[in-house]
Amino acid sequence: MLDCVYPLARDHLAFPELFPEHEPHQVREVYLVQWEQPSLLIDITGTMEVKLKAIACHVSQVGAFKAVEARMRTRAAALGKAQGHMYAEGFDHVLVPG
């Protein structure tokens, strides 16, 4: 899963069709969504409504949006409470070797 950032992102031969518009680069860190036991919590209170609107646009993948929205709000609120935020999102934070 991480091969798209290491080593492929730094190799100009991996995606020649993107060169020279997009230069190879070294990814220093990756945030992976973590639902169960996140090592990092980020306050998303200010972007929660935008996040939900974006997810609602994926009609074919979401189904009954009201139920999805309720679950997402409940989970984000539970994660946020631990940090004193209204809503938070959990991640595993991976530092990529240089």
Residue at 47: amino acid letter: T
Q: Is 86 in a helix, a strand, or coil?
A: coil
Measured CA to CA, the distance from residue 79 to residue 68 in angstroms comes to 17
Higher pLDDT, 19 or 1: 19
Please tell me the predicted confidence (pLDDT) of residue 81: 95
Q: What percent of the chain has pLDDT over 90?
A: 57
Bond from prior residue into 97 cis (ω within 30 degrees of 0): no
What's the token pair of residue 59?
């009609």
CB atoms within 10 A of CB 59: 8
Bond from prior residue into 38 cis (ω within 30 degrees of 0): no
Q: How much is the pTM? A: 0.77
